[in-house]
Amino acid sequence: MVAEVMLFHHAQGQTPGFHAFADEVRQAGHTVHTPDLFGGRTFGSIEEGVAYAREVGFGTLSEAGVQAAQGLPAALVYAGFSVGVLPAQKLAQTRAGAGGALLFYSCVPVSEFGEAWPQGVPVQIHGMESDPYFADEGDLDAARALVASTEDAELFLYPGDQHYFADSSLPSYDAAAAALLTRRVLDFLSVR
């Protein structure tokens, strides 16, 4: 089967590694939309990107992601890396007919966008077990709570402490973990 995916970038923007991941999903036969929530800006560090996101407003960026989905099919799979999880998770929880969700390096409590995870919307969450952003800031707890709340959720933890481990253009890249993440994502999309 062929899935249609809306993929949101992380706080460093649309890096070459972000585009490489989107292209790999496309090469598997899926359609991938990559809205740029930063208007072409990229940042040299997570901290710089988060500072920019904070300046613009996380809610504003999330709403821009929701607007980007307008006019596209309802059955999209919403995917996001880190800060991109905000619009991806919001859309998966609030836009009727979502085909699924892929949450990379982040997860927010389901209560941010509703009372419960929507029934029939499968979700995968991927993160490194010792990533301080994922493990120490509540995201891992939110991911575990989400998995406990529905039979449609899977949490994949990878050994290591890197945040952007699947971005091949950054020093945090972990080729083995990224390959496993990609295989799991393509398996997930193949049945959507």
Strand stretches in the chain, DSSP E = 4-8, 31-33, 77-81, 100-104, 123-128, 153-158
Q: Quick check: 69 pLDDT over 90? A: yes
Q: At what angle do helices 58-69 and 85-94 cross, to 10 degrees?
A: 50
Residues in CB range of 70: below 8 A, 6 or more apart: none
Cβ atoms 80, 106 nearer than 8 A: yes
Q: Which of 122, 121, 124, 123 is nearest to 158 (CA)?
A: 124
Entry pTM:
0.97
Residue boundaries of the structural domains of the chain: 4-189
Q: At what angle do helices 46-56 and 58-69 cross, to 10 degrees?
A: 80
> Could you report the per-residue pLDDT of 82-133, keeping only the tens digit for each?
999 999 999 999 999 999 999 999 999 999 999 999 999 999 999 999 999 9
Kindly report the number of other CB atoms within 10 A of residue 128's CB atom. 23
Find residue 130's DSSP bridge partners. none
Residue type, 164: Y
Residue type, 1: M
pLDDT band at 155 (very low <50, low <70, confident <90, very high): very high
Phi and psi at residue 38, to the nearest 5° = -105, 10
Architecture of domain 4-189: 3-Layer(aba) Sandwich (3.40)
> Could you report the per-residue pLDDT of 34-46, keeping only the tens digit for each?
999 999 999 999 9
DSSP state letter for 13: B
